A and B are shown apart, each in its own frame.
Chain A
Amino acid sequence: MTEGDTIVSLATIAGESALGIVRVSGNLSKSLCNDIFNIVSPTPRKAILKNYLSIKGKIVDQVLVIYFENGKSYTGEETLELTFHGNPLIANQILDDLIKRKCRLAEPGEYTKRAFLNGKIDLSQAEAVAELISANSEIEIEIANHQLRGSLSKRLHIIQSGIINLQAQFEASIDFPEDEIKEKDVGEILAVVEPLKTSMTQLINSTNIKSTLSQGIKISLIGPPNVGKSTLFNKLVHENRALVSKDSGTTRDYLSKELNIGGYKIELFDTAGIRKTISEVEQLGIQNSIQLINDSAIVLLVFDSSLPYPSEFYNSIQNEIKSKTIIVVENKIDLNRKLSSHDYPLNSKIITTSMNNDDCSINIISVIEKVLNEKFKINPTSDILVSKRQSNHLVKALSHLDEVISLISSSINEEIILQELKLSIECINHIVGRTDNEDMLDQLFKNFCIGK
């Protein structure tokens, strides 16, 4: 074990009122005893009631401290066990404080691993524990539930009960063959499974969103030259950053600026207008513009409504914008309208506006905000989204639902379909906590009149 590698974890966190335990294992244990509790030489295996003093000198909670010396703890290392009032906030504060004091959060099963390495238990046992912990750690689930506030955890529970309902439906027809359970046809089942899948996919995507969001969401202004992109850029960032002129090809290199729209962190790009050109510099700028389309989550396509539809421009970017979220801005409506053809990408939002109009940016911002909310559907200020581990479980759960769909279409037996549903829900259980057959039976008896 590396020097100074002291691990901490929440051994238990009961409900709000009961007790919680934080365990510390490693050679910092003794000095922590001194630093936090002012206990210079702790008596091994003796419980002492003390105030927990944070690194900032604040009392966090009254805590029961037990110190285990080398060779006498679970892990075989020096260990501290801190029992506190089981309030998740206190738990978090203690963990945070210990991390500031150079401890690190234990990996699942790490205690057992250490116990094993220190000759405290044999391999097969350690393996089994490790598997149990990593497979189904209630602690992680509780922390996750605590962190997955609001809509996200609600959605996971909706998925969970959605699958349980499906199970109940199939189980009813298996276990009560004479109770006239109306079996759902393939279409009806798909109608239940598909929304579950969509919801799961969205959650999985939100793992990617997390990284997108923390770096800022890229939005770029794309269009032919001279349509008013730079003018719009300046309006959105509330300063005259970009040069504006009546000449085409004013912007040669792209510009970017961070801003906040509806709580989202945005990186906005003004780009060179796209057209056929012989100028090498302008050509380089245009290449950058096209590259920016690829990098952006949202593209604002800006057109000059006083000019005919720029087919040439559109053809040159058509491929790039295929999978993008598009907002079309038809600018300069204060002039005579010549723009007629509407060859815009499917599902794009269209704004008709004039930059000469003072409050044009308000409208555009509100549309962007709406699009952001639709696209990300989560509160970007919530600090923790679906973690990688959770998303892995979701991916697995989803694959079992896919299997369900393919089994249903090949009219395989219910009991096989149910195996897949069971595997699927087990994956979800890893994130939001255990359900068992009783939950399914509850649904079954609630939904079906059983009783020959």
Chain B
Amino acid sequence: MNFGLKTDELNPYDVIVCGAGHAGCEAALAASRCGAEVLILTGNLDTVAQMSCNPAIGGQAKGQIVREIDALGGEMALNTDLSAIQFKLLNSSKGPAVQAPRAQCDKKAYQLRMKHVLELNENITTFQSIVDGLIIEKGKCIGVKTTLGINFYGKAIVVTTGTFLRALMHVGKEKAEGGRLGDHVAKGLSADFAKYGIELNRFKTGTPPRLLGRSINFEKTEIQYGDKEPTKFSFYDTRNKEEMFHVEQKGRWFHMEQAEQLPAVQCYTTRTTSQTAEIIKNNLHLSPLYKGDISGTGPRYCPSVEDKIVRFGEKEGHRIYLEPEGINTDEWYVNGLSTSLPFDVQNHVVQSIPGLEKAVIIRPAYAVEYDYANPTQLARSLESLKIESLFFAGQINGTSGYEEAAAQGLVAGINSARKALNENPVIFGRDEGYIGVLIDDLVTKGTTEPYRMFTSRAEYRLLFNHTSSELRYIPKLQILNLVSQNRKQAILSKSLVVNDWVKRIRTEKVHANDTYADLIKRGEDETKLPEDFRKLHKETRSEILYRVKYEGYLLRELKNIERMKDSERIKIPKNFSFKDIPGLRIESAEKLSVIKPETLAQANRISGVNPSDISVLMILLAKSNTN
């Protein structure tokens, strides 16, 4: 064990992670689990795993991602469960495939616990310093420079610097450099990326104002209760106590054994009014978004309130959610009111909303513009196609959201460790879960707005119900040391139980004509099933019932996956040249050369590449394989 910092070029770390946000933390932890010695650098130790936007984790498609992260031994799920102050299962009235857990978290508790997890990890060294450049040798990244003047060396480097590249914040016409209010900007990195041919583009995003709770008149708003019975993110049926609460057991300052009893809080809703609309319309010329001061593309799923009113009018008003930032603070997040209007206008806007007439803004809303590195410059391992041993994860890849960032961090962590240890990269498939969809979309299609996961992006979404996450990743757990041996065994036996029960329900007759499956498909509930079914864990039961009830649809999906895998098996060699291939259209050849698909199936998903190009490619690949 080595507590000291290593700065010796001849004795490098296995993995250096730059940035300790949601991507950075998962990257460091995953790399360490894969056996790497990790250094994680952050510009500010007080902002480790900071939730810089809304105080919630999960939600539609994102909740599923968090559960997948848990299935792969990641930390986000446990950390959320233990710092959550309200749980809600979204779409609970809809089908299992589109149900998604979400939790309001205590932001500070979330951060501190994650920081503590890093500190307690024996393979991870955490250090505060700003990364200001890359050390590149013969096209390979071997270390980083810091503003302290110290260089650190690593066999693989993971960049997770979020929105900090050339970040510019706007409040009305006032501008300030920085990716988050009160934070620094990374400039040296941007310059180095440009130097080594990594293309950067610009995005924008915004946050709403934060209010002082005691200045809000909650009586004029509507209460949003959480679920009485929380749907948690972690799988507890396959873990022992040791694995569940490692921080709480070892920690010196935290003792959260009773964490499930963190006090629950409520959220509230209110609406914008016609007065709100009028204020906004009258001041539109002051919004940098409308003046054209902001050039980056913003997310369509998270429009500013200016946008909402201009584009969709103000018939019944737009709903506004008031969400607490934590239990030890009276700061409230105003979800739905993101804006870049000047501060005085923000005040008027807020005060035109029922319940907020006297509300005090304690943190103004702002829009931020930042650089991201087009993710088509990455392989599916998240290693750069341009600089060897350099990995990218999180918002720097043009995504938005804590969950999307964490998922990429996990993948980059695994693959950077494998790179350092001379092992082949591990690829996450679109057929395995949302993580594979996320990575494949990013590196294959790129993105023109901050990328957020939607369930509709997953063509096999029916198979990605959140309770099945652990079972879906068994093949990955077999080749990666991401969870303990105990848990791996528990997951395997859960899988056997599920399969056995599905088979039994399908074949065993209740009476002459009907199997148990017939009853279930007809809408009977599980009380009609054999006695010992009820002894199973709740999530196991719901997984079994889902597979029985939706059998036909799920089988169809499995067949589709098989078909897709046929062309996924046809690999395109790493140095394959797409130039001068007769029959391949120039436009396609150019796209293919940039994106460098790893398989024929991936090539087929590139927009603008035609099936005819694919058949040309396939024949050529077959030829080069036989020759």
| Chain A residues within 8 Å of B, Cβ to Cβ | 11-12, 14, 18-19, 21, 23, 66, 74, 81, 109, 111-112, 115, 120-122, 124-125, 128-129, 131-133, 135-139, 167, 171, 174-180, 413-416, 418-419, 422, 436-438, 440-441, 445, 449-452
With both beta carbons as reference points, the residue of chain B lying nearest to A451 in the complex is identified as B303
Whether the pair A128, B303 counts as a contact (CB closer than 8 A) is no
Whether the pair A128, B612 counts as a contact (CB closer than 8 A) is no
B618 contacts chain A at the CB level, 8 A cutoff: yes
B94 contacts chain A at the CB level, 8 A cutoff: yes
Bound complex: CA A231 to CA B544 (Å)? 78
Q: List 18 A-B residue pairs with CB atoms under 8 Å apart, sorted by A's residue number.
A: A12-B610, A12-B612, A18-B586, A111-B615, A120-B623, A132-B611, A132-B618, A133-B615, A176-B60, A176-B301, A178-B321, A413-B94, A413-B98, A415-B95, A415-B97, A415-B98, A449-B303, A452-B336
Whether the pair A414, B319 counts as a contact (CB closer than 8 A) is no
Given contacts A121-B619, A415-B461, A452-B336, are A132 and B456 in contact (CB under 8 A)? no
Whether the pair A178, B616 counts as a contact (CB closer than 8 A) is no
Whether the pair A445, B301 counts as a contact (CB closer than 8 A) is yes
B531 contacts chain A at the CB level, 8 A cutoff: no
C-beta contact mask, B574-595 vs A, less than 8 Å → 1, else 0?
0000000011011100000000
C-beta contact mask, B596-627 vs A, less than 8 Å → 1, else 0?
00000000100100111111101100110010
Bound complex: CA A203 to CA B622 (Å)? 40
Which residues does chain A contribute within 8 Å of B622, judged by CB atoms? Answer: 115, 120-122, 125
Which residues does chain B contribute within 8 Å of A14, judged by CB atoms? Answer: 585, 587
Which residues does chain A contribute within 8 Å of B587, judged by CB atoms? Answer: 14, 18
Given contacts A174-B456, A449-B308, are A129 and B336 in contact (CB under 8 A)? no
Bound complex: CA A244 to CA B461 (Å)? 73
With both beta carbons as reference points, the residue of chain A lying nearest to B604 in the complex is identified as A132
Given contacts A132-B614, A175-B61, A419-B462, are A414 and B585 in contact (CB under 8 A)? no
Given contacts A125-B618, A171-B454, A180-B319, are A415 and B612 in contact (CB under 8 A)? no
With both beta carbons as reference points, the residue of chain B lying nearest to A449 in the complex is identified as B312
| Chain B residues within 8 Å of A, Cβ to Cβ | 60-61, 90-91, 94-95, 97-98, 300-303, 307-308, 311-312, 318-319, 321, 335-336, 338, 454-457, 459, 461-462, 550, 553, 556, 563, 566-567, 570, 582-583, 585-587, 604, 607, 610-616, 618-619, 622-623, 626
Which residues does chain B contribute within 8 Å of A450, judged by CB atoms? Answer: 300-303
Which residues does chain B contribute within 8 Å of A135, judged by CB atoms? Answer: 611
With both beta carbons as reference points, the residue of chain B lying nearest to A179 in the complex is identified as B319
Bound complex: CA A445 to CA B614 (Å)? 32
Q: How far is the CB of A208 from chain B (nearest CB, A)?
A: 29
Whether the pair A18, B585 counts as a contact (CB closer than 8 A) is yes
Q: How far is the CB of B148 from chain A (nearest CB, A)?
A: 41
Interface residue from B90, B95, B321, B612 paired with A137 (Cβ < 8 Å): B612
Bound complex: CA A174 to CA B94 (Å)? 8
Interface residue from B94, B319, B613, B626 paired with A415 (Cβ < 8 Å): B94
With both beta carbons as reference points, the residue of chain A lying nearest to B269 in the complex is identified as A178
Whether the pair A21, B583 counts as a contact (CB closer than 8 A) is yes
Which residues does chain A contribute within 8 Å of B607, judged by CB atoms? Answer: 436, 438
With both beta carbons as reference points, the residue of chain B lying nearest to A122 in the complex is identified as B622
Whether the pair A175, B566 counts as a contact (CB closer than 8 A) is no
Whether the pair B60, A175 counts as a contact (CB closer than 8 A) is yes
With both beta carbons as reference points, the residue of chain B lying nearest to A74 in the complex is identified as B619
Bound complex: CA A163 to CA B619 (Å)? 35
With both beta carbons as reference points, the residue of chain A lying nearest to B61 in the complex is identified as A175
Q: How far is the CB of A438 from chain B (nearest CB, A)?
A: 8
Which residues does chain A contribute within 8 Å of B312, judged by CB atoms? Answer: 449
Bound complex: CA A67 to CA B61 (Å)? 53
Interface residue from B91, B301, B556, B583 paired with A23 (Cβ < 8 Å): B583
Which residues does chain B contribute within 8 Å of A418, judged by CB atoms? Answer: 456
Which residues does chain B contribute within 8 Å of A438, judged by CB atoms? Answer: 607
Given contacts A74-B619, A128-B618, A441-B454, are A174 and B98 in contact (CB under 8 A)? yes
Whether the pair B610, A138 counts as a contact (CB closer than 8 A) is yes
Bound complex: CA A128 to CA B91 (Å)? 39
With both beta carbons as reference points, the residue of chain A lying nearest to B338 in the complex is identified as A451
Interface residue from B90, B98, B626 paired with A121 (Cβ < 8 Å): B626
Which residues does chain A contribute within 8 Å of B301, judged by CB atoms? Answer: 176, 445, 450-451
With both beta carbons as reference points, the residue of chain B lying nearest to A414 in the complex is identified as B94
Given contacts A132-B567, A174-B98, A450-B300, are A81 and B619 in contact (CB under 8 A)? no
Bound complex: CA A23 to CA B612 (Å)? 13
Whether the pair B619, A138 counts as a contact (CB closer than 8 A) is no
Bound complex: CA A354 to CA B456 (Å)? 65
Interface residue from A111, A128, A131, A178 paired with B90 (Cβ < 8 Å): A178
Given contacts A11-B583, A12-B612, A66-B582, are A452 and B319 in contact (CB under 8 A)? yes
Which residues does chain A contribute within 8 Å of B583, judged by CB atoms? Answer: 11-12, 21, 23, 81
Which residues does chain A contribute within 8 Å of B611, judged by CB atoms? Answer: 132-133, 135-138
